[in-house]
Amino acid sequence: MHDDDTFTNPRAHDGGALDELITRRFSRRRLLKGSLVASAALSVPSLQGCSPQPGGRVEDPETAALPVSGRFNFEEIARGSDQTHHVPAGYDLDVLLRWGDPLFSDSPDFDPQSQTAAAQSRQFGYNCDFVGFLPLPPDADDVPRGLLCVNHEFTSSVLMFPGVAADYPSSMTAERCAVEMAAHGGSVVELKLVADRWQVVLDSAYNRRIMADGTPMAFSGPAAGSPRLAIGSDPSGTRATGTLNNCAGGVTPWGTYLLAEENFHGYFQGELTEDHPETPNHQRYGVPGGWFQWGRHRDEFNVSSEPNAPNRFGWVVEVDILDPQSTPKKRTALGRFKHEGAESVVAPDGRVVVYMGDDERFEYVYKFVTEGRYDPDNRSANLDLLDKGTLFVARFNEDGSLNWLPLIHGQGPLTTANGFASQADVVIECRRAADLLGATPMDRPEDVEAQPDTGRAYVMLTNNTLREADDVNAANPRANNAFGHIVEITSPDGDHASDSARWDILIQCGDPEDPSFAAVWNPATSPNGWFGSPDNCAFDASGRLWVATDGNQATGAADGLWGIETDGPLRGTGYAFFRAPVGAEVCGPRFTPEGKTLFLAVQHPGDGRQATFESPTTRWPDFDPAGPPRPSVVSIYRQDGGPIGG
């Protein structure tokens, strides 16, 4: 995530006193089932005298009790930071796809010294984030196949182009901006399993690039056709030409690919007058952000020329990856905000629930519940399920209960008197609607995913150093929360469509040995097993939780991937599995259905203070002394062919 250290929620400062809320909230429940150790500020039961062992085992030397067996079984890697990646002993890693790699049999060779938009449109994009995998039927020779879906969140101009840093931003010409647009979006790539290793199929009819410019799309749902989406090239407000800042996403039960548009505000330049009707709306989303230079060359990225243009981004885009000629659709019923992910689960009655986070400090957790029901025997009947349903925002109550508040035009404060003339206005100004409903401002809610068998969902709250002592709330109990935490939501009777739930805190990240951090981990967590800034998560074939980080550098170590125990006496224990090269974050953990391959996205390797194309902090993965670092998707395997994680 490109993080500009700001927030736009006017409700950010409505918390209570830190000590008072911690005392009240944690006195009413057994913190993490009574098996975690808090800081000196929190008094909770602990497993005294326990020391972690490889393979997730805990021994009690005082009682000589039998070891407690965890669900993970691998030798943890060490904390640290260097120029390459690290996996546990007994594992192999392949670099599957790098920025600039060919996706088609006629793709041009990657030439970082002479990039063009035309070439980039036929190559794997930049800064890979979400990774999805959809199995396909085996080929005629019974070779396993699948479709890999990868988001390309943003571009790092000074790492991407030679000679740009010295004269930035004037060095960002129209052609370079066009290359950046082509490097955004997503890639759909067929893979086949050869000698137990996945390989790209260059001549596949499924292979596809989705880009920020030149990919026709349609708006669907309540905002489609709204005058607030109209611009000069689309006066109808029904057609788009691309997608951008696609962070996390999802794969639906019917096999489509969801790209979630996150920090769209950073792509716009220009200014509006204070009395323009869109000015308050844009301010609530931080528009214009001015991160990218596209608005110098294209009117649709300059609000002075096209005031409605930002309203066309911040949506969830659905792509039918089984039909390469299909038109992607921006599903406006799911609301407009800075989406981090759109992971779905089928409720007991067949309705589909999509969980989403709004990735900014003091923003909210959402879910969408379809009106229609998923039909596993009729794929075509499912293709427009995301156009009708109810969007909800979460209120986390101090007593551990949660209310899902519906964002429906005409209900409560969402009326014409408050500036919402229709449901189109509600979803376009989703943040303001959630403000009025009294949703709980959270510490950067990113990925939200449901465990498929337990009725629980997990919210990654990355960090919030801007939260002050009088800003805390029950679900965000730390001021200056530099390291983030994970909230667990438990739906009644496993029904994710319910309008209420219970919540708990699984872990509070940071160093458990430093009382000032108020970190909360199971005492079985080793010095390598704790981390900071949880971002993306995934469940493997056996239902175990894995968490990737964005910002673990604040703890003095590189970002990576950890396994997390969610049940039993080891609940809240972390295990270090993967470490990224310096400057990179880890995104999109995704397991194949049988659990024997793990795909990870390694984003912006070589980044860092004053890092440039000519002088990155690493040149991973090629280590070409004349070449740039290349964001890549990697595939990880056990050497003995067993499931990842043991």
- Parse the chain into domains and list their residue ranges: 18-111+121-157+166-228+242-262+314-368+390-638
Q: In whole angstroms, what is the distance from residue 570 CA to residue 525 CA?
A: 9
By CB atoms closer than 10 A (0-12, 13-18, 19+), residue 403 is middle
When pLDDT is averaged across residues 380-385 and rounded to a whole number, the result is 98
Q: What is the 3-state secondary structure (H, E, C) of 42-54?
A: CCCCCCCCCEEEC
- Compute the CA torsion angle 520, 523, 525, 527 (nearest 10 deg): 90
Residue 459 backbone dihedrals phi, psi, to 5 degrees: -105, 120
| pLDDT recorded at residue 5 | 59
Secondary structure element (H or E) that encloses residue 284, with its range: helix 279-285
Per-residue pLDDT, averaged over 610-626, amounts to 97
Mean pLDDT of 517-530: 97
What pLDDT is stored for residue 452 in this prediction? 84
Is-cis flag, bond preceding 376, omega within 30? no
Q: Mean per-residue pLDDT for 251-263?
A: 98
pLDDT in tens, 264-302: 999 999 999 999 999 999 999 999 999 999 999 999 999
pLDDT number for residue 12: 76
- Residues 297-336: tens digit of each pLDDT: 999 999 999 999 999 999 999 999 999 999 999 999 999 9
Average pLDDT over residues 207-218: 98
Res 13: pLDDT: 64
**How far is it, in rounded angstroms, from Cα 491 to Cα 403?**
11
What is the per-residue pLDDT across 526-557, written as a single tens digit (0 to 9) for each?
999 999 999 999 999 999 999 999 999 999 99
Given a contact cutoff of 8 angstroms between Cβ atoms, the answer to whether 16 and 472 are in contact is yes
DSSP state of 527: T
Both structure tokens of 381? 């009947």
In the chain, the amino acid numbered 323 is D
Q: Quick: pLDDT tens for 161-177.
A: 999 999 999 999 999 99
pLDDT score recorded for residue 3: 57
Region 442-470: what's the mean pLDDT?
A: 96
CA–CA dist 203, 104 (Å, integer): 6
Mean pLDDT score across all residues of the chain? 91
Secondary structure, 3-state, 112-140: CCCCCHHHHCCECCCCEEEEEEEEECCCC
Query: DSSP readout, 190-245?
Result: EEEEETTEEEE-TT-TT-EEE-SSS--EEEESTTTT-GGG-BTTBTTS-EE-----
- Give residue 4's pLDDT: 56
Question: Is pLDDT of 566 > 60?
Answer: yes
Residue pLDDT, tens place only, 338-372: 999 999 999 999 999 999 999 999 999 999 999 99
Q: Residue 46: pLDDT band by 50, 70, 90 thresholds?
A: very low
Please report the pLDDT score of residue 7 as a whole number. 79
pLDDT band at 57 (very low <50, low <70, confident <90, very high): very low
pLDDT reported for residue 42: 29
Which of 48-57, 189-198, 281-290 has the lowest average pLDDT? 48-57
Strand order in the sheet with 545-549: 534-539, 545-549, 560-564, 574-579
Residue 20 has pLDDT above 60, yes or no: no
Task: Collect contacts of 112-120 with beta carbons under 8 A, ≥24 apart.
Answer: 112/160, 112/162, 112/613, 112/627, 112/628, 113/162, 115/160, 115/161, 115/176, 115/179, 116/175, 116/179, 117/175, 117/178, 117/179, 117/181, 117/182, 118/182, 120/179, 120/182, 120/183
Q: What percent of the chain has pLDDT over 90?
A: 89
| pLDDT average, residue stretch 49-62 | 29
- The domain made up of 18-111+121-157+166-228+242-262+314-368+390-638 is a member of CATH 3.40.1080.10: no
Note the residue count of the chain: 646
Q: Which of 56-60, 195-199, 211-215, 310-314 has the lowest mean pLDDT?
A: 56-60
| 135, pLDDT greater than 80 | yes
Q: pLDDT-based confidence at 69, cuts 50/70/90?
A: confident
State the Cα–Cα distance between residues 533 and 548, nearest whole angstrom.
Answer: 9
pLDDT above 90 for 252? yes
pLDDT digits (tens, 9 = 90+) for 569-591: 999 999 999 999 999 999 999 99
